[in-house]
C-alpha cells in the first residue's frame, strides 16, 4: 500500500546542484534566485497549430510554444528548456521525412535546436522508424538526447548520454534522462538492435548519487519519458508499472523535480512522496513552467519554493515566425500528401459499430494485411476511439491516416488454436457489462480497457457471448468450417506492436515470426486503395455478438 504521505511533501527541500560538465565556475552569490524550468513532452512532430487528419486549425504545436518561450526569456535569462521525448514521430511531417531523410535535417531537430533546447529525454516513439533515423535526428540536434537506462547489450554501456549538468545563476542543476523500459514490448527487434532497457528506478539509484557527489549538483531533475503508475487521486496502482515508473522514481533519494511524459496527460504540479511532479500534455498543447526559488547562504543552497503552471497554446498565443519558417516546406508537402485522393468509395464504410459487429471497414484492413503477407488469419482493431468510417465518395490519404494513425509494420506469426482463442477471449473482455433492455442487448465497455485493444480476427468464424464469464466468451470458433482445436497451427497477420504481446495480448509474446514486411500497414492500405480505384463495402459477418440461446423446456415445435 502507498503511505498516507504519498502526496504530501515538505514545502522546503534541502538540495545541492549546478554547473556545466566541463568547468566549475563560482557558485551562486548569497541571497535568493529564481530559476525557471520550461518543459514540453510528446510533441510527436507537431510543429504548427494544424490538425492534418481533420484539415483544421488546432490549439497546439511547437510554433505556439515557441512564442511563450520567447516571452518568458524576455522576462528572465535564468531559463532551462527541456523535453521529455516522443518527438520525431506522429505527424505526416515526420513520416515523410523518415521515408526520405536525404532532404535535409529532421524537422523537429531543426526547430528544437533553433529554440535552443538544453536537453531531451528519449521516448519510445523515437524508435518507430529504426535506429538510423533516430541517430540522424540525434546528430542534427544541438542539444543532448538523454537516456540513462537505455544500455548496449554487448557491454552494458550507455547507448545515450546519461545526464547533463547545467549552471544557471550559479546554481548547479543536474538533468538525468530516463526512458520507459517497456520498449521491447512495443518495438520489433529490428528497430532497436543491440539495446536493452534498465528499470529507470535502478538507473536513478545508480546516478543520482553521482550527480549529488561527483558533479556537486544543487538540484536534480529527473526528465523521464514515463508517467505515474497509480491513480493520482487514490494512490492505487493502475496496472501500468511495466511502462510507467514515476511514482517508484519519486522514492529515490536526491531527486528534486520530476518532469514527466508518455501518458499525454495535463498534470499540474503534484507532489509524489514530497517530490514535485508535472506533465505538460501532448503535441505542445501546453507548456509547463516551473519556477524554483533557491536560497544561498555561505555556499549552502536550499530550495525555498517550487511553483508551476501549465500554459495553454490556445488561439491567444501567436505562431512564432522562425519556427513557422522552418516548418513551411514540410507543412506544404504534408498537406499535399494528406489531400491526395487514393480511391472512391461506392458506398459508406461505417465504423461506429466496429466493436459490436463485423464491418466492411475492418474486413478491408484485415484482408489487406492477410493478403499482403500471405497468412491464414489476420487480427486488427479499430484504432481511433471513435471513427465514422469512410464516407461515400473520394477517399483521401487523410482518411486512411485517421483509420490507421500509427506507424505499425506488418508481421506474420505462428500460433496454435489455444493461442488464437486466448487472443479472442482477451478481446472479448472489452464488454464490461451486458443487459437486456426489452428486446435489445445493451453493452457497456470494461472500465479502463483501451478500445483499440479490442481486436477482431478475419479468416476464422466465431461468436462472442458477452453475458458469459470472462475467459469463456468465445463460442463456435472454427476455421474453414471445422472447429478449431487447441493444437491446430495457423499463421496470423498482426502489426509489429501486437506481435510483441502488447495491449494485454501476452500470449503472443515470443511467438515465432514467420515473415515480416517493413512497410507500414497504413501504406499497404493506401497502396491497395490506389490499385482498386473504386471500392464497395463487403462484410462476410465471420463474427457476431450473440449470447447462448436455447429453447424453453416446455416449448413444442411442430414438424
Query: Can you tell me the mean pLDDT for 271-276?
Result: 97
The answer to whether residue 1 scores a pLDDT higher than 90 is: no
Residue 184 dihedral angles phi and psi, to the nearest 5°: -60, -20
* Domain boundaries 340-545, corresponding CATH code: 3.90.780.10
Query: Can you tell me the mean pLDDT for 502-514?
Result: 94
CB 72 within 8 A of CB 309: no
Task: Residue count of the chain, please give it.
Answer: 559
Residue % of the chain over a pLDDT of 70: 94
Which pLDDT does position 318 carry in this prediction? 97
Which pLDDT does position 300 carry in this prediction? 92
Q: How confident is the model at residue 111 (pLDDT cuts 50, 70, 90)?
A: very high
Give the CATH fold of the 13-334 domain. Answer: Purple Acid Phosphatase; chain A, domain 2 (3.60.21)
CB 275 within 8 A of CB 252: no
SS3 content of the chain, % helix, strand, coil (to 5): 25, 30, 40
The answer to whether residue 8 scores a pLDDT higher than 60 is: no
Residue % of the chain over a pLDDT of 90: 88
Residue 84 dihedral angles phi and psi, to the nearest 5°: -100, 20
The answer to whether residue 398 scores a pLDDT higher than 70 is: yes
The answer to whether residue 527 scores a pLDDT higher than 60 is: yes
Q: How many CA atoms lie within 13 A of 228 on its CB side?
A: 28
Q: What pTM value is reported for the model? A: 0.89
Q: How confident is the model at residue 46 (pLDDT cuts 50, 70, 90)?
A: very high
The answer to whether residue 18 scores a pLDDT higher than 70 is: no
Which pLDDT does position 425 carry in this prediction? 98
Which pLDDT does position 24 carry in this prediction? 35
The answer to whether residue 80 scores a pLDDT higher than 70 is: yes
**DSSP string for 102-152:** GGSS-HHHHHHHHTT--EEEPPGGGGTT-HHHHHHHHHH-SS-EE-TTEEE
The answer to whether residue 35 scores a pLDDT higher than 70 is: yes
DSSP tag of 237: B
The answer to whether residue 559 scores a pLDDT higher than 70 is: no
Domain ranges of the chain: 13-334, 340-545
The answer to whether residue 22 scores a pLDDT higher than 60 is: no
* Helix (H/G/I), strand (E/B), else coil: 345: strand
The answer to whether residue 6 scores a pLDDT higher than 60 is: no
Q: Do domains 13-334 and 340-545 have the same CATH topology?
A: no
Q: Which has the closest alpha carbon to 266: 244, 281, 285, 276?
A: 281
Query: Can you tell me the mean pLDDT for 261-274?
Result: 97
Query: Can you tell me the mean pLDDT for 424-445?
Result: 93
**DSSP string for 253-290:** TT--EEE--SS--EEEEEEETTEEEEEE-STTSEEEEE
Alpha carbon distances (Å) from 298 to 218, 261, 295, 306, 375: 14, 37, 10, 22, 72
Which pLDDT does position 448 carry in this prediction? 80
Q: Which has the closest alpha carbon to 196: 206, 182, 207, 208?
A: 182
In the chain, DSSP finds a helix count (H) and a strand count (E) of 12, 33
State the helix-helix crossing angle for 321-339 and 92-99, rounded to 10 degrees: 80
Q: Which has the closest alpha carbon to 27: 235, 210, 187, 218?
A: 218
The answer to whether residue 15 scores a pLDDT higher than 70 is: no
Q: How confident is the model at residue 556 (pLDDT cuts 50, 70, 90)?
A: low
Q: What is the signed CA dihedral for 497, 500, 506, 508, rounded to 10 degrees?
A: 100
| Integer Cα distance of 243 and 263 in angstroms | 10
The answer to whether residue 330 scores a pLDDT higher than 80 is: yes
The answer to whether residue 465 scores a pLDDT higher than 60 is: yes
Q: Which has the closest alpha carbon to 253: 220, 230, 279, 224?
A: 220
The answer to whether residue 109 scores a pLDDT higher than 90 is: yes
Q: Write out the three cell numbers for 210.
A: 553521482
Query: Can you tell me the mean pLDDT for 86-113?
Result: 96
CB 416 within 8 A of CB 488: yes
Which pLDDT does position 12 carry in this prediction? 29
Query: Can you tell me the mean pLDDT for 463-481?
Result: 97
Query: Which residue carries 473520394 as its cell?
Result: 394
**Which tens digit of pLDDT belongs to each residue from 197-238?**
999 999 999 999 999 999 999 999 999 999 999 999 999 999
Higher pLDDT, 427 or 24: 427
Q: How confident is the model at residue 403 (pLDDT cuts 50, 70, 90)?
A: very high
Query: Which residue carries 524508435 as its cell?
Result: 127
The answer to whether residue 26 scores a pLDDT higher than 90 is: no
Query: Can you tell me the mean pLDDT for 85-110?
Result: 96
CB 73 within 8 A of CB 320: no
Q: How confident is the model at residue 447 (pLDDT cuts 50, 70, 90)?
A: confident
Which pLDDT does position 557 carry in this prediction? 60
The answer to whether residue 4 scores a pLDDT higher than 60 is: no
DSSP tag of 518: E
Question: Which long-range contacts (C-beta less than 8 Å, at least 24 apart) are formed by 471-480?
Answer: 471/425, 472/425, 473/425, 473/428, 473/431, 474/421, 474/424, 474/425, 474/428, 475/548, 477/417, 477/420, 477/421, 477/424, 479/376, 479/377
Instruction: Using DSSP bridges, classify how beta strands 119-121 and 145-146 pair: parallel, antiparallel or unpaired.
Output: parallel
Query: Can you tell me the mean pLDDT for 96-105?
Result: 94
Residue 424 CA, chain-centre distance (Å), reads 24
Q: Which residues contact 498 (CB under 8 A, 6 or more apart)?
A: 379, 455, 505, 508
**Which tens digit of pLDDT belongs to each residue from 352-379?**
999 999 999 999 999 999 999 999 999 9
Amino acid at each position: 500500500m502507498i503511505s498516507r504521505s504519498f502526496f504530501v511533501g515538505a514545502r522546503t527541500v534541502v538540495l545541492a546542484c549546478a554547473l556545466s560538465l566541463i568547468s566549475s565556475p563560482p557558485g551562486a552569490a548569497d541571497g535568493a534566485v529564481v530559476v525557471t524550468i520550461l518543459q514540453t513532452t510528446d510533441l510527436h512532430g507537431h510543429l504548427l497549430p494544424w490538425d492534418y487528419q481533420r484539415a483544421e486549425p488546432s490549439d497546439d504545436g511547437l510554433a505556439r510554444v515557441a512564442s511563450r518561450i520567447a516571452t518568458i526569456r524576455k522576462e528572465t535569462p535564468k531559463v532551462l528548456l527541456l523535453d521529455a521525448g516522443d518527438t520525431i514521430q506522429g505527424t505526416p511531417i515526420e513520416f515523410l521525412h523518415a521515408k526520405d531523410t536525404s532532404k535535409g535535417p529532421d524537422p523537429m531537430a531543426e526547430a528544437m535546436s533553433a529554440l535552443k533546447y538544453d536537453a531531451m529525454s528519449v521516448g519510445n516513439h523515437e524508435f518507430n522508424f529504426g535506429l538510423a533515423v533516430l541517430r540522424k535526428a540525434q546528430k542534427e540536434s544541438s542539444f543532448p538526447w538523454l537516456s540513462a537506462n537505455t544500455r548496449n547489450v554487448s557491454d552494458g554501456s550507455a547507448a545515450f548520454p546519461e545526464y547533463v549538468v547545467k549552471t544557471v545563476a550559479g546554481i548547479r542543476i543536474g538533468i538525468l534522462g530516463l526512458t520507459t523500459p517497456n520498449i521491447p514490448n512495443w518495438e520489433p527487434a529490428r528497430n532497436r538492435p543491440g539495446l536493452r532497457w534498465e528499470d529507470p528506478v535502478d538507473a536513478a539509484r545508480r546516478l543520482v548519487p553521482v550527480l549529488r557527489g561527483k558533479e556537486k549538483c544543487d538540484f536534480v531533475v529527473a526528465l523521464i519519458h514515463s508517467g505515474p503508475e497509480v491513480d493520482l487521486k487514490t494512490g492505487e496502482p493502475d496496472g501500468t508499472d511495466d511502462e510507467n515508473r514515476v511514482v517508484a522514481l519519486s522514492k529515490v533519494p536526491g531527486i528534486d523535480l520530476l518532469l514527466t511524459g508518455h501518458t499525454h496527460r495535463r498534470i499540474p504540479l503534484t507532489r509524489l512522496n514530497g517530490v514535485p511532479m508535472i506533465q505538460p500534455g501532448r503535441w505542445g498543447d501546453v507548456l509547463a513552467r516551473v519556477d524554483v526559488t533557491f536560497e544561498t547562504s555561505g555556499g549552502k543552497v536550499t530550495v525555498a519554493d517550487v511553483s508551476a503552471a501549465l500554459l495553454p497554446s490556445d488561439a491567444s498565443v501567436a505562431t512564432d515566425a522562425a519556427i513557422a519558417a522552418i516548418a513551411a516546406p514540410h507543412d506544404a508537402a504534408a498537406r499535399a500528401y494528406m489531400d491526395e485522393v487514393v480511391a472512391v468509395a461506392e458506398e459508406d464504410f461505417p465504423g461506429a459499430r466496429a466493436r459490436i459487429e463485423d464491418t466492411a471497414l475492418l474486413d478491408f484492413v484485415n484482408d489487406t494485411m492477410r493478403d499482403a503477407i500471405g497468412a491464414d488469419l489476420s487480427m486488427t482493431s479499430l484504432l481511433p476511439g471513435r471513427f465514422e468510417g469512410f464516407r461515400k465518395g473520394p477517399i483521401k490519404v487523410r482518411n486512411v491516416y485517421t483509420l490507421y494513425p500509427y506507424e505499425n509494420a506488418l508481421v506474420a506469426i505462428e500460433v496454435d488454436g489455444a493461442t488464437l482463442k486466448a487472443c479472442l477471449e482477451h478481446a472479448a473482455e472489452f464488454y464490461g457489462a451486458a443487459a437486456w433492455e426489452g428486446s435489445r442487448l445493451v453493452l457497456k465497455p470494461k472500465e479502463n480497457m483501451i478500445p483499440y485493444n479490442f481486436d477482431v480476427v478475419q479468416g476464422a468464424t466465431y461468436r462472442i457471448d458477452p453475458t458469459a464469464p470472462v475467459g469463456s466468451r468465445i463460442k463456435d470458433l472454427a476455421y474453414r468450417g471445422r472447429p478449431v482445436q487447441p493444437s491446430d497451427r495457423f499463421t496470423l497477420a498482426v502489426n509489429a506492436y501486437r506481435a510483441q504481446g502488447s495491449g494485454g495480448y501476452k500470449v503472443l509474446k515470443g511467438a515465432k515470426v514467420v515473415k515480416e514486411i517493413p512497410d507500414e500497414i497504413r501504406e499497404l492500405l493506401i497502396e491497395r486503395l490506389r490499385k482498386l480505384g473504386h471500392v464497395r463495402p463487403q462484410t462476410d459477418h465471420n463474427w457476431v455478438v450473440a449470447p447462448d440461446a436455447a429453447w424453453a423446456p416446455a416449448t413444442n415445435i411442430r414438424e
